Amino acid sequence: MTAATLIAGAVLILVAFLFGGAIASFLGVVIERVPRGESINGRSHCSCGRKLRWYENVPVFGWLRVGGVTKCCGTHLPVWYLLFEIGLGLLCAIPVTLFVFFNFMA
């Protein structure tokens, strides 16, 4: 097992986690906007209408960066956003982790 193999495995796991978090983030937008009759197109925005910056949209890390409170108007972000993104991220990362360890690390 080489260092390059370990790094490649870690990168695959991270990509899988971020992919799952991105899917969860999109589903969160759908869950929030569709019942209110809002469009799911366009950039994410705060409840006050300010468009979110790119780093505020990174799954899990964006929520943690702002501490669950928006910078523009102080609105508290529901913790379910964070938990949903972590949960789906793990759901995607765990099979990749098992694949990496059982196929590349053996």
Please indicate whether residue 27 or residue 2 has the higher confidence score (pLDDT). Answer: 27
The domain segmentation of the chain, as residue ranges, is 3-104
Model confidence, pTM: 0.85
Give 66: exposed, middle or buried? Use CB within 10 Å, 0-12, 13-18, 19+.
middle
- Distances in Å between the Cα of 92 and the Cα atoms of 12, 48, 68, 82, 96 are 11, 33, 24, 15, 7
pLDDT for 49 equals: 85
pLDDT in tens, 46-105: 888 898 888 888 889 989 998 999 888 988 989 999 999 999 999 999 999 999 888 866
Alpha helices in 34-105 (DSSP H): 61-66, 79-99
Nearest residue to 38 via CA among 55, 47, 88: 47
**Token pair for residue 76?**
């508290």
